Amino acid sequence: MKFNTIKNFLIALALLLTNFSIVAQEVVADTLKKQTVFSGKKQKIDGIIATVGDYLVLDSDIDKNFLELTSQGNSIKDISRCQMLGKLLEDRLYAHQAVQDSIIVTDAEVKTKLEEQLAYMVEQLGSMEKTIAYFKKNSEEDFRADLSEIIKMNKLTSEMQRKIVDEVTITPEEVRNFYKKIPENERPTFGAEVEVSQIVIHPKITDEDKQKVIDKLKQFKKEVLEGSSFATKAVLYSQDPGSSTNGGYYKMNRKTPFVKEFKDVAFSLAEGEISDPFETTYGFHIIMIDKIKGQEVELRHILLSPNVTDQALKDAKEKIVQIKKKIENKEITFADAARAESDEKETKANGGVLINPKTQDTKFELTKMDPSFYSQVSNLKAGDVSNAIIDTDQSQRKKYKIVTVTNKIDEHAADYAKDYLKIKELALKEKQINAIAKWSEEKIKETYVKINNEYRDCEFANNWLKK
């Protein structure tokens, strides 16, 4: 797959990135779809317009995808039915090949996603009854069954895509060549950016309060070993907003971005084993391992944080205010103060410098910042130090911090030296797109594909008609 202009490449890149995030969106859009396979034989259903391996595409699937895009405020005027069908065919090719490659999606994964999606739909539509009526289903049982099939197919699709691109790497020479081939007047523009450092002070927690949490987690472990449900306790008591509603469930490997202490414990346990309470920057945890599959583990965990007193918060604020005064009085630099005083392990050693988790460099594009973070830094000039800011971490624990902008970078055309990491990311994405295109070309040749007559005049990007 070659790109005549950088504009064409960025369009393709946007489509690829949409592909990776489409799972949650398509669950709603595809809900009326019905896949039916019995012992390898497909039952005839009105409206089938295409078949890819063991998966079907209905004419109504196209309409529902258009409806979903419109409901999200996207324009569909330049998207044809043929283009939308091409996208649906690609998704089903990924899912079919994932099954052939023995990629497994567990019932637990499907159930977790199902409950998340149902909760979202019910919240949007008002009730389960209204949701069932909106999607024209006969019962909640039917709705759950159809939705589970869709979630499983979409999960297979995303896992297959991930498997393809995870094997793609790029060298510095390839990055350099990618940059050189972009005409100067077509180089992408990067928005205004800032580099930020911060100093964080956590309210002090007494040993007594810590021990209360540890004892509570030990009691949970004892009750689970005696027959109680770990998942139920996670729903009822865990303070982790990212997993409590799912019974504390996470799936992770060595590369998953969890804190080191959490990963060390997770990968030290056997299947079915429950850890003793341990501490991370988020609080105290216990972990139970559900399954170990090669380099991946499926686990559940419960997070509890000790209570913070009003006096402890007041003391933390006073300390951060005093640090700010010392910096402004030139008694100490911001970086040295961070190394000496900050309670944030991730940034303390490098003088408080924040790393952008999306790009792994020190620059944050203003237009892509979290709104609350943007409000904290957007009005600061380079070298300014903010007032004391009360903030919360992912576990809703309160802390105080001060931030400074160490550098401001205006909007500019891509520069190889200054923007190497961003250019590397674009180059890698192009290589991933080409890898997917090559993979698709090969798999289409060896997969059963049938497109009904009404769509056989379509001009597809891929060779679905096997001409």
One domain for residues 286 and 351: no
One domain for residues 49 and 151: yes
Q: Which 3 state secondary structure label does DSSP give 4? A: coil
Tens-binned pLDDT, residue by residue, of the chain (467 aa): 444 444 444 444 444 444 443 333 333 334 333 333 333 434 444 489 999 998 999 888 888 778 667 655 678 888 999 999 999 999 999 999 999 998 888 888 888 888 877 887 788 788 888 888 877 778 889 888 888 888 888 889 889 999 999 889 999 999 999 999 999 889 988 888 999 999 999 999 888 999 999 999 999 999 999 999 999 999 999 999 888 888 999 998 888 888 889 999 999 999 999 999 999 988 899 999 999 988 889 999 999 988 888 899 999 999 999 999 999 999 999 999 999 999 998 899 999 999 988 888 898 988 888 888 888 888 899 999 999 999 887 667 789 999 999 999 888 899 998 889 889 999 999 999 999 999 999 999 999 999 988 899 999 989 998 87
One domain for residues 108 and 69: yes
Boundary-marking domain end, from 272, 304, 336? 304
One domain for residues 46 and 110: yes
One domain for residues 350 and 273: no
Burial (CB < 10 A; 0-12, 13-18, 19+), residue 352, is buried
Which residues are within 8 A (CB) of 102 and not within 5 positions of it... i.e. 6 or more apart? none
One domain for residues 326 and 380: yes
Q: Which helix (H) or strand (E) holds 365?
A: strand 363-365
We report the CATH number of the domain holding residue 70 as 1.10.4030
One domain for residues 13 and 162: yes
Contact 273, 224 (CB under 8 A): no
One domain for residues 10 and 136: yes
Query: What is the number of other CB atoms lying within 10 angstroms of the CB of residue 3?
Result: 17
Residue 463 maps to a domain: no
Residue 183 maps to a domain: no
Q: Name the domain count of the chain.
A: 3
Q: Measure Cα distances from 104 to 109, 165, 275 in Å.
A: 10, 18, 26
Q: What sign does the dihedral 347-351-352-355 (CA atoms) show?
A: negative
DSSP for 53-121, written as a single string: TTEEEEHHHHHHHHHHHHHTT---TT--HHHHHHHHHHHHHHHHHHHHTT----HHHHHHHHHHHHHHH
Residue 177 maps to a domain: no
* CA–CA gap between residue 248 and residue 246 (Å, rounded): 5
One domain for residues 62 and 165: yes
We report the CATH number of the domain holding residue 294 as 3.10.50.40
* CA–CA gap between residue 272 and residue 267 (Å, rounded): 12
Return the closest-CA partner of residue 278 out of 218, 342, 219.
218
* CA–CA gap between residue 435 and residue 165 (Å, rounded): 7
The predicted-structure confidence for 223-278, as pLDDT tens digits, reads as follows 999 999 999 999 999 999 888 888 999 998 888 888 889 999 999 999 999 999 99
Q: What sign does the dihedral 64-65-70-71 (CA atoms) show?
A: positive
* CA–CA gap between residue 387 and residue 376 (Å, rounded): 9
Residue 184 maps to a domain: no
Burial (CB < 10 A; 0-12, 13-18, 19+), residue 79, is middle
Angle between helices 140-166 and 107-125 (to 10 degrees): 120
Q: Which helix (H) or strand (E) holds 463?
A: none
One domain for residues 374 and 300: no
Q: What is the token pair recorded at 38? A: 């019995």
One domain for residues 36 and 149: yes
One domain for residues 212 and 344: no
DSSP for 135-194, written as a single string: TT-S-HHHHHHHHHHHHHHHHHHHHHHHHHHHT----HHHHHHHHHTS-GGGPPEEPPEE
Q: What is the token pair recorded at 325? A: 């005064």
Domain that holds residue 356: 190-203+309-412
Residue 405 maps to a domain: yes
Residue 121 maps to a domain: yes
Q: What is the token pair recorded at 463? A: 């060779």
Residue 417 maps to a domain: no
* CA–CA gap between residue 19 and residue 95 (Å, rounded): 13
Q: Where are the alpha helices (DSSP H) in 299-419?
A: 310-328, 334-341, 345-348, 371-377
Boundary-marking domain end, from 264, 285, 304? 304
* CA–CA gap between residue 322 and residue 317 (Å, rounded): 9
Contact 134, 32 (CB under 8 A): no
Contact 154, 96 (CB under 8 A): no
Residue 323 maps to a domain: yes
Boundary-marking domain end, from 270, 304, 338? 304
